[in-house]
Each structure stands twice: as C-alpha cells, then as structure tokens.
Amino acid sequence: MSASGTPRGAGRYPGPLARFRQLPLRSRLAMLTAVAVAFAVALSAAACWLITRDRLTEQLDAQLSTVEVNSNYVQALSAYCNNPDGVHFQPTPYTIQLVSAGGYVCTSPDKAPIPAQRADTAVARGRVASTAHITRAEDGAEMRVWTKPFPGPLTDTQGNRLAISVALPMRQVTDPLNQLALVLLIVAGVGVLGAATAGLWVARAGLKPVDRLTEAVEHVARTQDLAIRIPADGDDEIARLSRSFNAMTAALASSRDLQQQLIADAGHELRTPLTSLRMNIDLLVRSEQSGRPIPPGDKQALLASVKAQMGELAALIGDLQELSRPPAPGQSAVAVVALHDVVGAALERARLRGPSLTFTADIAPWYVRAEPAGLERAVVNLLDNAVKFSPAGGGVEVRLSGGELTVRDHGPGIPQDELPHVFERFWRSPSARSLPGSGLGLSIVARTAEQAGGAVRLRSADLGGTEAVLTLPGAPTPPPAPPEEPPARPDGDA
C-alpha cells in the first residue's frame, strides 16, 4: 500500500506477458511461430556471417603472407625514409613499411603510415616469428597488417634489425560482409514474415475443430440443446476432446430425460392417492359444515382409507427420496454388514405383514461391504414383493448361500415379456396395478445391488411363482479387525 492508501501497482498498464496472454490463441501461436523462426534464422545468419568473415580474413592473411619484398625495394624504402628526394618506387596495392624495435615506422610513398603495435615491435626484436592483426592507419582506414622479420642485413641507426609489415585495407573483407549482411537481413525478414503468415494460417486451420467445439458449447449454453454432436475424425487430441464432449452431452441428455421421466411418473403416481385423499377429506369437511354426520361405520371406513392413502403417499415419497439420493462420497457410508442378520430381521418384519403365509428359511453366514440402511431396505423390498403376490395360505422360501439370496413366492408369476421391465422406475405389471405399491421397490433393489458390486434378477420359478436372486460379493467370515492403537503414554515415559 502506498501512503495515499492506493494498492501498489493499481492503475498501471499490464505488462507485456499479461498483454500477450490476452491475445487470441491463434494470434499467440502465430507470434510464437514467428519468434521461433526469427530466432532460428538469426542464429543461422550470424553463423553464416561469422564463418564467411573468418574465411575472408584467412584468405587475406594468406595473400599478405605470400608477398615477397625484395632487398632492393627495402634498400630503396630505407633510403627514401632518410632522404625522400630522388627515390622512385613502382606502384603497389600494398602498404609496405619498415618497423624498428623502438616502434619507428618507414612507410612506402603515397600510403598512410600505420602506427606500430606491440606485436610488430616484438617481431622486430625477434621475440615473435610473425604476427597478423587489424589496426587503423593514420588516415582512419582499417587495415589488415602482416608483420615478419626481414632476412637481409638491414638495420636501423642503432644497429637493431628491422621487421617488414605488409598491409591491405579491410574493405576486401568488410564490403562483401556488408553485402552478405544485407542479403541475410532481407532473407531473414522475408522468412519471418512468411513464418508469421504460415503460422497464422496453420493456427486457423488447426484450431477449426476447437472453434467448432467452442460454438457447440456456446450453443448448448444458449439453447440448452443437448442433441448437438461434433464430428470427430481421427485419433488426435482434438478428436478425443470432441468424442468426450459428445459423450458428455449424450450423458447429460439421457440424465435430463430420465429426470423429466421421473418427475412425470412421480406426478402421475401421486395424482391418484392425492385425488382420493382430497375426495375423502372433502366428504369429512362437508359433513362437518352441513351438520349431517356420516354414519359411524362409514366414517371409520373413510378414516381408514385416508390413513391408508397417507401411508401410500409416505411410502412413495420415501422411495423417491431413496432413488434421488446421490451415492455416498468415497467409502464413508460403506461398512461390513452381516447379510444373514439383515435377512433374519427382514424375515421377522415379513412374518408380521403376512401372518397367513408360511416362511421357510435356509440362511448361511455371509458378510458384504455395503451401506447398511440401503441393504436392509433392498432385502425388505424383495420380501414385501413375495408377501404381496403370495396367495393366502401360501409359502415364501428364503435361502442365503455363498452370497446369493433367493426369495421365492408361489404367486401368479410374471410373464416372460414383462421380466425386462420389472426394474424400471414406476413400472407395474398390469395384473398388479390394483395392489398397493409405487413401482419403485425393485428399482431400489437394483440400485443397491449395483452400488455394492452385485446384481439382481427375477425369473419364473418351476411349478409357478417368481424367484428373485440377489447376488453380492463378500465372504462367509468377517474380515479381521484392524489392530488397535496402543494407549498414549504419559509425558516423560520412555
């Protein structure tokens, strides 16, 4: 925070990286392609320029090193430096000069003197065999100088031996290099522009599937139309993303259809008991308002009907809540359940609901991992169905062995063409629509079995009746209990 209370950085322009991230994806791809190509071209151009410079310099050095200065020319040059009058030289493209050990130079006529360097004087003193370097003449021209000892007997006024320097202007190297640099610059600029154009075209072509996916997502968000599908050709990432999007919209469409069907079926199932309940309550209200009491017997029957309809509504709402409840996250609601105990408790309830029926049970121990409340409700639903469809004085056979629970009744059975529909929500056999129930019991059983890793099926039993088989993975013995943690020791104990 600044002294004025304004956060630091407030009001500043965004940095280059932030502005780059705000660009469209295709523009960023084109820019990155252009930068990558520019970097590669710059490296190639720099390497080409450096190699060419080294080769041209080597050629210039080779030319200078092969120049042979005869002794007559050296004698004339020495005489010219002592007395310029009366000495004539043949014109030469080279700058030739004598270098003494003390740094004195004697330059050929019509040439600008080149100041002696330490390397030149070192050659004159015999410390170095030869040297080549770049320096500037007194007229400012850049020169390439090759200095070597003079093999003849010529010396300076102090008797020191002299060295001979042969030089040429560096224009022979720099002029071609400048032309090469200009060509490389033009080629690099054209290459970068072409790369940027190609990158933009490639980005547009490559992002067309993404554009189609974006348009599809925006269309779904705008119209809630889940029937849209994106063509997915190939096996690249875009095709996989398109197939995933198509699968997602198909799953959402199926989920929405199931939700709408559930709401419609629930509304249809609720309409009948609510209508009957309203009519019965209207009769009771009209009787009270008109002062004409209903006969006691009819009133008792009316109240019993109201109570039964309220129970049917409560059962239907409970089944709907069970079906709409999402699966428990993780394994927090799953525990090891003794299935034989659950079946035994459900049998006791079934005997109360079917006092005229005969129950036979063969139950072996079996332990499963499931949600206790959901598993108990599923087993109770299977036994309730058997009680509902069993004739008076009939029997219900229950058997649990090896994780397979079989519940058989001796009722009218289910036709073969109706068996595929028995686990659908709100589906009820035409012959059973007069019986109480919501048509959700077997749906709850199927969902519980699936969550526990098992399965349930119905089949026609031999000699009539229906047999329900619930299979759940487990073991005949409970899993070992986890070791208990040792009690914490008091502070200070070892």
Give the pair of three-digit tokens for residue 159.
């008797």
Contacts of 302 (CB under 8 A, 6+ apart): 280, 283, 284, 294
E strands along 427-481, which residues? Answer: 455-460, 466-471, 474-475
Give me the domains of the chain, ranges plus CATH numbers.
Answer: 69-170 (3.30.450), 237-324 (1.10.287.130), 335-475 (3.30.565.10)
pLDDT digits (tens, 9 = 90+) for 297-306: 888 887 887 7
Q: Which tops the pLDDT comparison, 9 or 196? A: 196
Q: Could you tell me if 351 and 415 are in contact, meaning their C-beta atoms sit under 8 angstroms apart? A: no
Q: What angle do CA 472, 354, 443 make, to 5 degrees?
A: 40
Least Cα distance to 338 among 302, 380, 369 occurs for: 369
User: Alpha-carbon distance 421 to 106, whole Å?
Assistant: 117
Q: Could you tell me if 115 and 44 are in contact, meaning their C-beta atoms sit under 8 angstroms apart? A: no
Residue 315's pLDDT band (cuts 50, 70, 90): low
pLDDT digits (tens, 9 = 90+) for 237-287: 777 888 888 888 888 887 777 677 667 656 655 666 677 788 888 888 888
Question: Which residues, in sequence order, are bridge partners of residue 99?
Answer: 105, 163
User: Alpha-carbon distance 95 to 165, whole Å?
Assistant: 8
Average pLDDT over residues 374-399: 86
pLDDT digits (tens, 9 = 90+) for 121-131: 888 888 888 89
**For the stretch 408-422, what's the b/e string if a residue is b when 16 or more beta carbons lie within 10 angstroms of its beta carbon?**
bbbbebbeeebeeeb
DSSP 63: H
pLDDT digits (tens, 9 = 90+) for 198-226: 877 877 777 777 777 778 888 888 888 87
Q: Does 378 have pLDDT greater than 50?
A: yes
Strands 131-136 and 163-169: unpaired
Q: Which tops the pLDDT comparison, 141 or 310? A: 141
CA neighbours closer than 13 Å in the CB half-sphere of residue 472: 31
Task: Tell which phi-psi region holds residue 86, choosing left (phi > 0), alpha (psi between -120 and 50) or beta.
Answer: left
- Phi then psi dihedrals of residue 342, to 5 deg: -65, -45
Least Cα distance to 147 among 93, 100, 82 occurs for: 100
Q: What order do you get walking across the sheet with 335-338 strand by strand? A: 335-338, 367-370, 474-475
Q: What angle do CA 129, 130, 134 make, to 5 degrees?
A: 155
Three-state DSSP at 26 gives helix
Residue 192's alpha-carbon distances to 27, 32, 199, 203, in angstroms, are: 15, 11, 10, 16
Q: Does 27 have pLDDT greater than 70?
A: yes
Least Cα distance to 399 among 377, 370, 379, 414 occurs for: 379
